[in-house]
């Protein structure tokens, strides 16, 4: 994989994505049902339950984040909940607790906090389907 160039936008995965530019500052709550790229400053909460959230290399985020997939290239202070996965790229920085089914932290990334690996829906169904032993 190539290194991300902060001067070039991250390619959108599909139509239906939004972007907060490097000069934009947001304080408050962000929620939505599209993929979101943050390249500016955000304080508060970001909730995109079934979508992808990308924190770009120029971003400074002080917020709790919740999305299906969270990818960090920049700096985040706050708790992260990734329904499917969380990735912290090599120049990314996260200070906060993570909860996700899958985690990837590249060499060179900074992370301080705890990680809770959540069992996937398949593992939960398997556990419920097994009969309990009567003792």
Residue 30 lies in a domain: yes
Residue 4 lies in a domain: no
Residue 7 lies in a domain: no
Q: What is the pLDDT along the chain (135 residues), one digit of tens a residue?
A: 344 555 555 554 446 789 999 999 999 999 999 999 999 999 999 999 899 999 999 999 999 999 999 999 999 999 999 999 999 999 999 999 999 999 999 999 999 999 999 986 544 544 455 555 554
Query: Containing domain of residue 35, as a range?
Result: 17-129
Residue 2 lies in a domain: no
Residue 6 lies in a domain: no
Residue 10 lies in a domain: no
Residue 103 lies in a domain: yes
Domain count, the chain: 1
pLDDT of residue 76: 98
Cβ neighbours, 10 Å, residue 33 = 9
Residue 37 lies in a domain: yes
């Amino acid at each position: 994989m190539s290194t991300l160039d902060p001067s070039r936008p991250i390619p959108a995965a599909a139509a239906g994505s939004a972007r907060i530019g490097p000069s934009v500052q947001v304080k408050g709550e962000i929620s939505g049902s599209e993929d979101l790229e943050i390249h500016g400053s955000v304080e508060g909460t970001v909730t995109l339950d079934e979508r992808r959230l990308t924190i770009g290399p120029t971003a400074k985020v002080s917020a709790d984040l919740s999305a299906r997939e969270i990818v960090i290239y920049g700096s985040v202070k706050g708790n992260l909940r990734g329904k499917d996965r969380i990735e912290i790229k090599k120049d990314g920085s996260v200070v906060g607790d993570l909860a996700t089914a899958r985690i990837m932290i590249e060499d060179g990334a900074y992370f301080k906090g705890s990680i809770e690996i959540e069992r996937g829906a398949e593992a939960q169904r398997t556990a419920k389907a097994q009969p309990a032993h009567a003792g």
